[in-house]
Structure 1
Amino acid sequence: MFIQTEDTPNPQSMKFLPGQAVLGHGALGIDFPTLEAAAASPLAAMLFETDGVMGIYLGADFVTVTKAEAVEWMHIKPALLGAIADFFTAGLPVLAEGAGAQSSSLATPLEDYEGEDREIVEQIVELIETRVRPAVAADGGDIVFKHYEPRTGVVFLSMQGACSGCPSSTLTLKNGIENMLKHYVPEVARVEAA
């Protein structure tokens, strides 16, 4: 099995592409920031066994691994490639039985917003889903909508995978996403990391 790797803007994260579905087309990604969280995924749990692994993000067709700053990629990359190849060759399930991909990227359900606020949130979510998430997935990460505060116009987003802890994430959040949302949705005053 040939697994491609790609560097990400975050020097502590690397994207692994096994050449087949990880969560599957259309699935929302799942972030495993700790070994305890990885219990829901045999793949993520196995990758956490490699010394220096600090986080796993599973996407539709990729795995992003975040390492400790003190660890060099050249020391752990071969072990990670072997673990991913062995896992997919064995045909094991990516998620534990009963564990499912995130059913919704919303922390505050859409139903909790009413009237004009709901329309604003729908516009924000649509822009994030169609313009932001595909771009950051290409870099091994994800950005998901968490909450909109109508009174202040603040949008809260969660950074996952390679985006979490990335040195350029603040720049992406403020200069890229905030400017785009303010342009298309005038009610948005600013964007903050959740």
Structure 2
Amino acid sequence: MEKNFEIKIEATSNPGIVKFEANYFLTQHTSYEFENIDQAKNSPLAQQLFHLPFVKRVFIAQNFVAIDKYDIVEWADVEKEVAEQIKNYLNTDQPIIIETESSNKVAITIYAESTPNPAVIKFVANKKLVTSGHEFKNIDDAKESPLAQELFHFPFVKEVYVDENYISIQKYDMADWNDITLEIREFLKTYLEQGKEILSANATVSKSEKEKQADVDFDKLDDVSKDIVNIIEEYIKPAVASDGGNILFDSYDPESKAVKVILQGACSGCPSSTFTLKNGIENMLKEMLKDKVASVEAING
């Protein structure tokens, strides 16, 4: 599948720097900083950007280009043109970085973190891995993820969930975490340091397209469902993600006042998920939406 790059303009805490975020990864877990056009000799994209007279520094990271400008212009006057220039370059399929042996790469670190689900451990990286969550229940599901496919070759791997900077792995009971955690951690570290592909282009859905579709689906919902989605996104999803999982809104029945959600990653099949649903998510929705919610059910938890 041919990549169709889109660029989203993101302000930063530094008014002189703007991020131009791409919907696909630009580098494999490596970040680069260029102070001038000479330093950028291994990056045709950065060299092109330095031809703009207001460009002071260029940063190229996994899924964005950040530019630090001189004060001769305001970003509001030029950011759209810069975004278009970056987008056009990326869609020519020219190299972003020409790798050399002397290229300064950031070392990958992986640490293992327990989750409320004793069958799942969360392996956290010091780099962004994907732009959105992907769940793989078996090796057939993983055909668009070379990393997940390789993980399923370990006989003790049952399910894989990959999100922004971590990989949650669910094991079969045949293995003990004390015996396999180090092996998985070393495998992931080596895999990522070698710059191997995590997701294929087919799996890497355009972020802008995904957001547009989500907006369309959201607009079709009734008011209570919209409130539920907003509460899940703002209050519940961050807590679930910290436990190595994900939660998605499925449906709301106005007659029974029942909410159905989808649990992924460490939360799927977790022995404590029923407790979490009833004492956490359900109570929160009841409290915030009063008499509009009677129960919450996980359709795959």
The residue that corresponds to 2:114 in the other structure is 7
Q: CA deviation at 1:111?
A: 4.6
Give deviations 1:5-40, integer Å, cap 9, x for gaps. 10111110000012111113xx3x111111111112
**CA–CA distance in 1 between the matches of 2:238 and 2:286?**
19
Q: CA deviation at 1:183?
A: 1.2
The residue that corresponds to 1:162 in the other structure is 266
Map 1:115-194 to 2 at 5 A: 118-186=222-290, 187-194=292-299
Asked if 2 retains the 8 angstrom alpha-carbon contact of 1:140 and 1:162, the reply is yes
Give deviations 1:138-176, integer Å, cap 9, x for gaps. 111111111111221111011111111111100001111
Aligned pair count? Answer: 186
Q: CA deviation at 1:78?
A: 2.6
Q: CA deviation at 1:110?
A: 3.0
Asked if 2 retains the 8 angstrom alpha-carbon contact of 1:64 and 1:141, the reply is yes
Q: Please, which moves more after superposition, 36-45 or 171-180?
A: 36-45
Asked if 2 retains the 8 angstrom alpha-carbon contact of 1:8 and 1:15, the reply is yes
The residue that corresponds to 2:158 in the other structure is 54
**CA–CA distance in 2 between the matches of 1:69 and 1:92?**
29
Asked if 1 retains the 8 angstrom alpha-carbon contact of 2:111 and 2:185, the reply is no
**CA–CA distance in 2 between the matches of 1:132 and 1:35?**
29
Q: Between Structure 1 and Structure 2, whose CA radius of gyration is higher?
A: 2
Map 1:23-102 to 2 at 5 A: 23-24=130-131, 27=132, 29-100=133-204
The residue that corresponds to 1:20 in the other structure is 127
CA RMSD of aligned residues (A): 2.0
Q: Secondary structure at the match of 2:243?
A: coil
**CA–CA distance in 2 between the matches of 1:75 and 1:35?**
23
Where does structure 1 lack aligned partners over 5 or more consecutive residues? none
Asked if 2 retains the 8 angstrom alpha-carbon contact of 1:56 and 1:66, the reply is yes
Question: RCO (CA 8 Å, sep 6+): is it higher in 1 or 2?
Answer: 1
**CA–CA distance in 1 between the matches of 2:233 and 2:172?**
30
Give deviations 1:29-71, integer Å, cap 9, x for gaps. 1111111111121111111111110000111111000001221
Asked if 2 retains the 8 angstrom alpha-carbon contact of 1:46 and 1:83, the reply is no
For normalisation by structure 1, the TM-score amounts to 0.88
**CA–CA distance in 1 between the matches of 2:139 and 2:251?**
27
**CA–CA distance in 1 between the matches of 2:183 and 2:148?**
14
Q: Secondary structure at the match of 2:230?
A: helix
Q: Secondary structure at the match of 2:228?
A: helix
**CA–CA distance in 1 between the matches of 2:170 and 2:144?**
18
* Structure 1 runs, 4 residues or longer, greater than 6 Å off: none
Identity %: 37
**CA–CA distance in 2 between the matches of 1:20 and 1:2?**
8
**CA–CA distance in 1 between the matches of 2:189 and 2:273?**
30
Q: CA deviation at 1:85?
A: 1.2
Asked if 2 retains the 8 angstrom alpha-carbon contact of 1:40 and 1:99, the reply is yes
**CA–CA distance in 2 between the matches of 1:70 and 1:132?**
32
